[in-house]
Structure 1
Amino acid sequence: MPTKRRVWFPGCMYHITARGNHQEDIFKSIADFNMYLRMMKECLNYYEDCSYEVISYCLMKNHVHILVRAGKKEIGGFIRRLHSMYAMYFNSKYDSTGHLYQGRYYSEVIMDVGQLMEVSRYIHLNPVRAKIVKLPQQYKFSSYNMYIGNEEENIVDTSMILGYFPEEEKAEKKKERYRYFVEKAMEVS
């Protein structure tokens, strides 16, 4: 039976998740996390004409979350390339064979601004809710520190999410508001 085609239209946004096969780790070292991020950047460059945008991400030991906007083409080629490259790297490095990922990656279409903001917050709070860190800015392998101004933007473009805060505010104020938006949810978790 063929796999069901994913919903796509120009500018469609997705919350992508992919988990290690049998929930096993897909990142075993800091070098692995960094390699995945380098490969993500390479894939963005490779598909530059397609206008893909990574809005936010979080890499956990056994799974990944990527919030991405598909530009001129559906997202499948981008994710397939990224995950194929990383699986080949991982299998070669760890002398492993077989599937690295548990089945086809999952994608949820983002339908409105409220869902977009909530998914971005969910992604950035993932390491906190997994009790890996107490605060999201303590986790190195997410885009959160780029959103709050602790790191220079790399791979992600924060302007879409931060653009939903009042226009008249300066960039630093928008970053403070985003931080409050994300960290306020920790109080009710």
Structure 2
Amino acid sequence: MENNDYLAFIDLLQESAQMFNVGIAAYCLMPNHYHLLIQTPDANLSRFMRHLDGVYTQRFNRSHKHDGQLFRGRYKSILIDEDRYLLELVRYIHRNPLKGALEDALGRYPWTSHKGYISNAKKWDWLHKKFILAMFSKNRSESMKRYRKFVSQESPEEISMVFESVRLPPILGSDRFIKWVKKHFFNDKQNSEIPESKSLAPSIEEIKTAICKFYSINEEDLLISKRGSANVPRNIAIYLARRLRGDNLDAIAKAFNIRAYSSVSSVVNRTRILLSKGWKINKMSFWFLIVPITSLVNLLKNYHKLT
């Protein structure tokens, strides 16, 4: 990588941020990867990243007379709780070159946004930093002073372990934040704008608990199967495990003590047919496992209104 390659990426980053209404709060360009901390008010992360990587690849290949892919695999993303982890992530990103031995003192590596946080120069106005600095102080000079002190200290081991893990968590925040995300965005769980969105789905145990509470039964009742009679609670739980979680048939079979995965497929198909013939489920029904338990009764009634 040459200096012009880094400069070209930063130029494209600014251009793309304006085009897609994305706030770039922090960045770090390493020789073989990059880190971004961004805000997407229009929920267009995938489109922004596709444009950024795609256009940069075209420009890089044209400049170096190469062809083919430049970035390997899909990007990894984490949804961050701003109240608890935002500042930690800014520090982690800006200290990344120091940790990677690309600089011997913080701020000497030129391809991060760190200098933008300690500068009043207008060339950094495109950086979405005011909100971050305001978390330190409402006074601009004081906020920069506190930022300097904060970033000069090493990231806590807990933070480093999270971001250096092979498997990154899709959401990083308090339990309250994670529940809020599930409540507001689970309906878009299969949306391409949420790459790790399956994590928003309820667990098998949560599905079982919800079904048992609604029908006033024990979990053991969900494992009962009798010829000639339908175990409606069990069938709904199986259908939801498949519909909401996308679990494979073998996993669902084990969870409900069913010998053959083909039996799970039959249950799912029968339930789907019943829904198409009259069991109406409105949009909100699929949120029932991520809202308070007290809301379950009203939401589950949607399964039986027309039966």
Question: For residue 72 of structure 2, what is the aligned residue in structure 1?
Answer: 102
Which residue of 67, 83, 107 corresponds with 1:137? 107
Residue 151 of structure 1: how far off its partner (Å): 4.9
Deviations 1:47-102 (A, max 9, x none): 2xxx3100010111111111000012321111111111100111122222221111
Secondary structure at the aligned position of 1:68 is classed as: strand
Residue 148 of structure 1: how far off its partner (Å): 1.5
The residue type paired with residue 171 of structure 1 is: R
Question: For residue 160 of structure 1, what is the aligned residue in structure 2?
Answer: 131
Which residue of 94, 101, 121 corresponds with 1:124? 94
Distance, in Å, in 2 between the alignment partners of 1:114 and 1:37 is 28
Structure showing greater relative contact order (alpha-carbon pairs closer than 8 Å, 6 or more residues apart): 1
Give aligned-pair identity as a percent: 29
Matched, 1:29 2:2: yes
Matched, 1:58 2:58: no
Matched, 1:112 2:85: no
Checking the alignment, whether the CA contact within 8 Å between 2:88 and 2:155 is kept in structure 1 is: no
Distance, in Å, in 2 between the alignment partners of 1:186 and 1:115 is 11
TM alignment of 1:11-50, pairs within 5 A: 28-47=1-20
TM alignment of 1:170-181, pairs within 5 A: 170-181=139-150
RMSD (Å) for aligned C-alpha atoms: 2.0
Distance, in Å, in 2 between the alignment partners of 1:129 and 1:150 is 26
- When residues 75 and 125 of structure 1 are mapped into structure 2, their CA distance, relative to the original with a 3 A threshold, is same
TM-score norm. by structure 2 comes to: 0.48
Secondary structure at the aligned position of 2:104 is classed as: coil
TM-score norm. by structure 1 comes to: 0.76
Distance, in Å, in 2 between the alignment partners of 1:38 and 1:90 is 13
Checking the alignment, whether the CA contact within 8 Å between 2:92 and 2:155 is kept in structure 1 is: no
The residue type paired with residue 102 of structure 1 is: R
Deviations 1:121-158 (A, max 9, x none): 00000110011112221111111011122754143121
Checking the alignment, whether the CA contact within 8 Å between 1:54 and 1:69 is kept in structure 2 is: yes
The residue type paired with residue 75 of structure 2 is: Y
Residue 114 of structure 1: how far off its partner (Å): 2.3
- When residues 69 and 187 of structure 1 are mapped into structure 2, their CA distance, relative to the original with a 3 A threshold, is closer
Checking the alignment, whether the CA contact within 8 Å between 1:145 and 1:151 is kept in structure 2 is: no
Please, which runs of 5 or more residues in structure 1 have no aligned partner? Answer: 1-27
Residue 29 of structure 1: how far off its partner (Å): 0.6
Structure of larger gyration radius: 2
- When residues 32 and 154 of structure 1 are mapped into structure 2, their CA distance, relative to the original with a 3 A threshold, is farther
Residue 187 of structure 1: how far off its partner (Å): 10
Question: For residue 184 of structure 1, what is the aligned residue in structure 2?
Answer: 153
Question: For residue 289 of structure 2, what is the aligned residue in structure 1?
Answer: none
Give the total of aligned pairs: 157
Greater share of helix: 2
Checking the alignment, whether the CA contact within 8 Å between 2:91 and 2:155 is kept in structure 1 is: no
Which residue of 41, 44, 47 corresponds with 1:77? 47
Distance, in Å, in 2 between the alignment partners of 1:133 and 1:186 is 17
Secondary structure at the aligned position of 1:58 is classed as: strand
Checking the alignment, whether the CA contact within 8 Å between 1:149 and 1:172 is kept in structure 2 is: no
- When residues 150 and 186 of structure 1 are mapped into structure 2, their CA distance, relative to the original with a 3 A threshold, is farther
